[in-house]
Amino acid sequence: MADKITPLIAGNWKMNGTSASLAEIARLAGLLAAGPPPRCTVLICPPATLLAPLTAIAAPAGILTGGQDCHPRPSGAHTGDIGAPMLADAGARYVILGHSERRADHAEGSELVCSKAAAAIGAGLTPIICVGETEAERRSGDAERVVATQLAASVPGDWGGCGIAVAYEPVWAIGTGLTPTAADIARMHATIRQLLEARFGAAGAGVPILYGGSLKPGNARDILAIENVNGGLVGGASLLANDFHAIISAV
pLDDT value for 214: 86
* pLDDT, tens digit, 9 for 90 and up, residues 154-164: 999 988 667 99
* pLDDT, tens digit, 9 for 90 and up, residues 137-174: 999 999 999 999 999 999 999 886 679 999 999 998 88
Distance CA 12, CA 25 (A): 13
CB 206 within 8 A of CB 159: no
pLDDT value for 47: 98
Residues with pLDDT less than 50, the chain? 1-2
pLDDT value for 18: 98
pLDDT value for 4: 86
Q: What residue type is 3 in one-letter code?
A: D
pLDDT value for 35: 93
- pTM for the complete prediction? 0.96
Question: Does the annotation count 245 as an active-site position?
Answer: no
Name the active-site residue from 108, 169, 189, 245: 169
Q: How many CB atoms lie within 10 A of CB 75?
A: 12
Name the active-site residue from 24, 71, 99, 189: 99
pLDDT value for 179: 78
> What is the CATH class of 8-249?
alpha beta
Question: Does the annotation count 169 as an active-site position?
Answer: yes
CB 187 within 8 A of CB 195: no
